[in-house]
Amino acid sequence: MKRAILTVFCAMAAAPWGGCSRSIPTLTVEELLANPQDHSHTIVKVRGCFVSEFEKAVLQPCKSQNQGQNIWVEQAMAYEQINELGRNHPEFKGPAPVKLLFEYDKGREKRAWKALTASLGQKQMTSEIILLGQFETIAPHAPGANEGFGQLGAYPHELILVDALSSESNTTR
């Protein structure tokens, strides 16, 4: 509960994310996904490798071949647009709005995505990177239900990107 309170406070109080993001512990993808419900709807720092391919933008463990250990990485702008549609058009029947725990900043998001794409190697994969974002996960559900994130709802976990942090300048866990 203390972490959730700290997370919400940090999300609302620290617009530039300078000092506050340092107080959030850095988790690996494996650590985050070991107990995803414990981190659902919170701001997290997560270390992994970003992979960008056709209809795929995920964070995964750098040294694992476990394809089930993927976290869909989403632009906050997508939620801003959905939320705006819902506010302006009550009849809109799209996805349920997600309350962002941080103030959307178009410039910061653009810089973060630019840093992510610039770090991609020939295999469309980054070396180890730390991302700051809002983590969302779906509750366990019946097989076949399409309630996930990303392309065709294929991913049970999502990170709404706030910022791309350098793993060189932030190596503590």
16-25 pLDDT, tens digit each: 444 565 689 9
Residue that has been written with the tokens 């795929």 in this structure: 56
| 121 within some domain | yes
| 19 within some domain | yes
Which of the 8 DSSP states describes residue 123? T
Give the pLDDT of residue 2: 43
Task: List 159's β-bridge partners, or say none.
Answer: 73, 135
| Mean pLDDT over the full length of the chain | 78
Angstrom CA distances, 93 to 51, 80, 81, 82, 83, stand at 31, 16, 14, 10, 11
| Number of Cα atoms under 13 Å in the Cβ half of residue 82 | 14
Burial classification of residue 120, based on how many CB atoms lie within 10 Å of its CB (0-12 exposed, 13-18 middle, 19 or more buried): middle
Domain limits for position 28: 2-165
Residuewise pLDDT in 10s, the chain (173 residues): 444 444 444 544 444 444 565 689 999 999 999 999 999 999 999 999 999 888 889 999 987 666 668 999 999 998 887 777 766 777 766 666 678 999 999 999 999 999 888 888 878 888 889 999 999 998 665 454 557 888 888 899 999 999 999 754 333 33
Give the pLDDT of residue 9: 44
Domain with 120 in it: what CATH number? 2.40.50.140
| 95 within some domain | yes
Angstrom CA distances, 3 to 37, 39, 52, 102, stand at 13, 9, 31, 16
- Please report, to the nearest 10 degrees, the dihedral formed by the alpha carbons of residues 45, 82, 106, 72 taken in order: 30
Output phi, psi for 160, to 5 deg: -85, 110
Greatest CA separation found in the chain?
Answer: 47
The tally of domains found in the chain comes to: 1
| 127 within some domain | yes
List, for residues 55-79, the tens digit of each pLDDT value. Answer: 889 999 987 666 668 999 999 998 8
